[in-house]
Amino acid sequence: MKRLAILAATILLVGCGTATSQGDQSSATPSATVSPSATQATLGESIVFAAASLNKVFPEITGDADINYSFDGSSGLVDQLKGGAPADVFASADQMNMDKAVEAGLIDGEPQMFATNYLVIAVPAGNPANVTGLDTSLDGTKLVVCAAEVPCGAATARITEANGVTLSPVSEESNVTDVLGKVTSGEADAGIVYATDATSAGDKVETFEIPGAKEDPNTYWIALVKDAPDKAAGQAFIDLILSAEGQAKLAGYGFGAPQ
């Protein structure tokens, strides 16, 4: 079993906070330092349930550590935790699903905000359907979005309502990775995804900004699971995500800082 030591004796946390029941409107409260005992713990074989939009950056942050990742829509991960699936850490792409986990008694301690993200419209390279943005150019296209119960879907509903736009998607997916996959494959003419996912697709997609999306981002939260098989390893993982190193890599993938 490979184990990765977290070497820093003191790590500056960036933007931590407590999840409440106020949707995505809460802000994070800055924290000071990580305790020496936490920094000396190793990641071990942590079991991490994380939002699908984190499927590239989290493995980049943890490197060669033996992390057992499960990436999916945040709502589906909460359902798995409710069903008794073992996990050390839960990382949600919105506050609402973290709140659900807290209310269900699944979380140990206070969740902490670690990143933000916002939506864009992604189209296949070349933009064959001639989409021009969140407007009538989407009418009659093969538009794919996230289902309403997952964070990217809830954010889509929120931002389209704010813009006075009604969408007619041909498909609603359970996570943002599936939306992006249908766009990059050409199966969809357009998809509403996180900016970070569009960035990760490189030249396979072109993007259009959505008015107001940057000003109303999704907030990402992380917490220990109450019945974690290895709480020390789980806490070490959380400390790494909140560390200067973890935050720098999140920023490199396009995630915003905690609010």
- Residue stretches of the annotated binding site: 53, 74, 176, 194
Q: Give the C-alpha separation, 189 to 122, whole Å.
A: 9
CA atoms within 13 A on the CB side of 246: 23
Q: Which long-range contacts (CB under 8 A, 24 or more apart) does 103-109 make?
A: 103/21, 104/78, 105/226, 106/78, 106/81, 106/82, 106/225, 106/226, 106/227, 107/223, 107/224, 107/225, 107/226, 108/223, 108/224, 108/225, 108/226, 108/228, 108/231, 109/223, 109/224
Q: CB of 230 within 8 A of CB of 88?
A: yes
Q: Give the residue ranges of the annotated binding site for molybdate.
A: 53, 74, 176, 194
* Upper half-sphere CA count for residue 155 (Cβ side, 13 Å): 35
For the chain, strand residue ranges (E) read 47-51, 68-72, 89-92, 107-117, 119-124, 143-146, 171-173, 190-194, 205-209, 218-225
- 3-class secondary structure per residue, 89-152: EEEECCHHHHHHHHHCCCEEEEEEEEEEECEEEEEECCCCCCCCCCCHHHCCCCEEEECCCCHH
